[in-house]
Structure 1
Amino acid sequence: MEPASSNKNLYEKDASVRNGNSKLLLVVVVIALCFAIAAFILAMVSLVTQKDGSASQINLVGGAAGLTTADYDDDKVWLIHTGHSGTNSEYINEETGRVEGFNPDIMNAVCRIANKNCALVFDVYTNCWDNQAGESARGGFGLMAGWFDACGAWRVKPDRQRTFAFSDTFSRAPFHAFMTLTGNPEGFNWRDITGKTIGFIDGFSADEHCLAKADAVTGAVLPAENIVHCVDFEECYDRLVANTIDAAFMSVSKIRGQSSVEIASEEFNACQVQGFGMMARFDNKLIEWWNPAQEKLLASKEYHEICKDVKIAHGHMPGYEPADFCIGL
């Protein structure tokens, strides 16, 4: 009988060990599950917490009021491109590192009204719309590739409408003009630019195709060798100083308020069909919810307050007067 008793003791010991291992495994599983839940919560919190923009270059605008993902009507973060135009429409605040101005104020308000979690993504403008000297303008690689759901505040033009869908407009279309150094030291004559070299900011609506529609300008259709594309306003200004271009053609908002340059022509409005709107791929759903929310904003007092802030909160930057482009003012 001893062997049977011994086997029984061994069986009981084995069972005890197995029970202990099962309990240990259960504890490990529970701890791992707790870590997974904690990581998920932290990820959700970070998703709706406003970033400073210094590292990620993303400013969450829909989540600025301390909302959680449960407060939005979907779990998507809508990515909206923005840039630095150096005017009161959109500019980098050097103190906060954020993109501020009229356009971000509008986009923030519409996203809040629509109950959407939106993020402003800073990038170069040519990732929304690009054109090269002597070539047809075309959609920017970033928007075409789906890096953003939309590019914010782009002028509605026929060539862009062939490529992208647009929301209703939330501002009027400001004019374009020629720019020279203050005093027009070279005596630039905007009525006849035959043989002149003209600078354009790459990706902007005031391009050589727009200028070609200016019937009042002789020689408006420029050969490729007389077209210079600048990365930004500063490059066009530097080229004027270096006398490598005779004039630049751009939005009047970029020229106003600048002491070193002046508007050297009449102002043109031949380029755009409407004013500024959101530009998105045809297969993107952003415009479906954007238009109803924007309509509510434009009918509210908040829209007029945003327009006033063009000269108050953003008045230290050159650019628009509220009456130039705010609807209903």
Structure 2
Amino acid sequence: MARLSILALLCLGLLAHAYGYIGIEDDIGGPLDGDLLHALENLFGHDGDMAKEADSSDEGGISSSEEEEMRQRALGPIAKLLSGQGDGPLADKPFARLMFLRRLLGGASGAGPLSGLQRPTGSLVRNMFLFRLLGKRMGERFLKEVRETKESHRVYTFAASLFCDCALEYIDDHNEIRGFSLDVVNAVCKHAGKNCAVMYDTRSNCYSHVHGEHSRAGDGLMNHYYDACMTWIRSHERERSVAFTEAFAHVEHNAHFFVKKGNPDGFDMNNIGDKHIGFLNGWVSNEYCLAHVAEGHEEDLEEFGHEDTEEHTFKGAHLHPDQAHYYETREELFTNVESGELAAAFLIDPSPAEADAHGFEKLGEDVACGLGGTLHMMTRKDSNVPEWFSEHLHMMKESGEYYGLCTKSQHEHAAKGDFDCVRK
């Protein structure tokens, strides 16, 4: 077994040597240059303790059989580490393993080609013992530095859908994306020391509905086109497939049914029957909001905005999949209401003036869709954005920086409407 382990090390050494001849260079430099023992002492700050411990294995009293046993115990884990077997810290990083091998066995001075590999000096047992003691920590330290370097160069991207042409998201006269959501992204990223960028994408690429199926995270978010989508309301339905940051704004989240002016067809929201209803794709005002009300989740009513359930007569509705129709734009939605293809549209309110100008009116009481009416950045469940974004947004709230930003943005974007800052 020991022979096989030694053979594995020799093969890796020859591979590193061969790589050096084709011009691959090690530009890491640093902690393991020069004498192996001094480098290890400087790196880990043990003031020679580990070297002394290793030296003790060279002193009298160790028989040849004991030395062979130590050799086998040391070589096995090292060969496994450097060959990438198992799930060790260097398992999927072959180039890092070559660097590791060269630094530990090479004793080469300064950055240079891998062909600078030299024969190890000193007792094999002594060096193998140091391997055993320090290999794991050195690998973890190396990988930690690689991750930190990668993170410092990473750019986090946020998608704006420009869903409302309002103070949260809009295009200004210079064709630039503006709004409070963008202001928050820029401020939080600066506070966290992250590189961030905002891009446009359609709302359905962040979250979408498929006819006859459960709604789900969109292709853009799940396929890593970007890291997060800006300006989204939480809901139970959405939390099954995506994650949210801490809230950064509060908005009106009541939805209504909209019909042709005067309700000529006599649409009754409490008796929908087999009528066809239209929704906007990706919006929280969807068929699941109607079903949620119908299922009577009393524990959620306060969070949904219903302080007194007795005042609300709308009982919700369970629609058959063939009754629910999703559209990408308001224009498409209202065109189908006007043509009679749909009995009504259900959506978070456009302004009364907008509805009136297009010949429609809203019916009935408010229907609160989503949890609490707060806005968040929406991400994949495997993303680290909620962790660092929420942490630094919370710090900005605690320091008052967030509230200063919110007040400033309310004035800067006032021509596009208003929004509310969130409480702590």
After TM superposition, the score normalised by the length of structure 2 is 0.53
Q: Name 1:296's counterpart in structure 2.
A: 395
3-state SS of the aligned residue for 1:74? Answer: helix
Picking from 344, 348, 355, the partner of 1:247 is: 344
2:183 — aligned with what? 105
- Tell me what 2:271 maps to: 192
Partner deviation per Cα, 1:198-219 (whole Å, 9 max, x = no partner):
1100111111111112235467
Cα distance in 1 between the residues matched to 2:258 and 2:413: 23
Instruction: Note closer, same or farther for the CA distance 1:217–1:99 as it changes in structure 2 (3 Å cut).
Output: same
For 1:116 and 1:257, how far apart are their aligned partners in 2?
A: 41
Do the aligned partners of residues 180 and 114 (structure 1) sit closer, same or farther apart at CA in structure 2, a change above 3 Å counting? Answer: farther
Single out whichever of 179-188 and 75-84 deviates more from structure 2: 179-188
Q: Structure 1 residue 328 and structure 2 residue 406: aligned?
A: no
| One-letter code aligned to 1:228 | H
Change (3 A) 1:289 1:305: closer
Q: Deviations over 1:182-235 (max 9, x none)?
A: 554544322222222211001111111111122354671112222111102222
Which is worse superposed, 287-296 or 238-247? 238-247
Is the 8 Å Cα contact of residues 80 and 120 (structure 1) preserved in structure 2?
yes
Which structure 2 residues correspond to residues 281-292 of structure 1 after superposition, within 5 A? 281-292=380-391
Equivalent position SS for 2:158:
strand
Partner of 1:146: 224
Q: Distance in 1 between matches of 2:286 and 2:179?
A: 24
CA distance in 1, matches of 2:182, 2:269: 34
- 8 Å Cα contact 1:83-1:122 kept in structure 2: yes
CA shift, 1:270, in A, is 4.8
Give the structure 2 partner of residue 162 of structure 1. 240
Structure 1 position 308, deviation (Å): 6.6
List gaps (5 residues or longer) in structure 1: 1-72
Contact 1:88–1:102, Cα closer than 8 Å, also in 2 = no
- Mark the runs of 5 or more structure 2 residues left unpaired by the alignment: 1-150, 295-312
Quick one: structure 1 residues 209 and 181, their matched pair in 2 at CA, closer, same or farther if it must change by over 3 Å?
Answer: same
Larger radius of gyration: 2
Deviation (angstroms), 1:145: 1.2
- Name the CA distance, whole Å, in 1 between partners of 2:184 and 2:249: 10
Instruction: Name whichever of 301-310 and 101-110 sits farther off.
Output: 301-310
Question: SS where residue 210 of structure 1 aligns?
Answer: helix
Alpha-carbon contact 2:284-2:369 (below 8 Å) kept = no
Task: Identify the residue that residue 314 of structure 1 maps to in structure 2.
Answer: 413
Residue of structure 2 aligned with 1:122, choices 186, 191, 200: 200
Q: Which residue of 1 aligns with 2:281?
A: 202
Aligned AA for 2:156?
A: W
Matches within 5 A, 1:273-284: 275-284=374-383
Q: Alpha-carbon deviations, 1:106-152, whole Å to 9, x = none?
A: 22222222232211121111111111232111111111111111112
Q: Does 1:230 align with 2:327?
A: yes
Alignment coverage as a number of residue pairs:
251
Q: Judge conservation of contact 1:102–1:306 (CA < 8 Å) in 2.
A: yes
- Does residue 213 in structure 1 map to residue 310 in structure 2? no
Q: Quick check: which one's helix share is greater?
A: 2
Equivalent residue letter for 2:323: N
Please report the TM-score for the alignment, with normalisation by the length of structure 1. 0.67
Deviation at 1:269, TM superposition (A): 2.1
- RMSD value, Cα: 2.7
CA contact (8 A) 2:406 2:421 kept: no
Q: Contact (CA 8 Å) 2:169, 2:181: kept in 1 or not? A: no
**Distance change >3 Å, CA 265–CA 110, structure 1 → 2:** farther
Match of 2:257 in 1: 178
- Matched with 1:132 is 210
Aligned to 1:12: none
> RCO greater where, 1 or 2, for CA within 8 Å and sep 6 or more?
1
Q: 1:91 to 1:270 in 2, by over 3 A?
A: closer
Aligned-partner SS, 2:259: strand
Q: Residue type of the partner of 1:214? A: V
C-alpha separation between the residues in 1 aligned to 2:333 and 2:407?
29
Distance verdict in 2 for CA 1:115–1:222, change over 3 Å: same
Contact 1:90 1:99 in 2 (8 A): no
Moved over 6 A (4+): none
Q: Does the residue aligned with 1:142 lie in a helix, a strand or coil?
A: helix
For the residues of structure 2 that align with 1:94 and 1:170, how far apart are their CA atoms?
22
1:255 and 1:262 in contact (8 A); partners too: no
SS state of the match for residue 333, structure 2? helix
Give the Cα–Cα distance (whole angstroms) in 2 for the partners of residues 274 and 84 of structure 1.
18
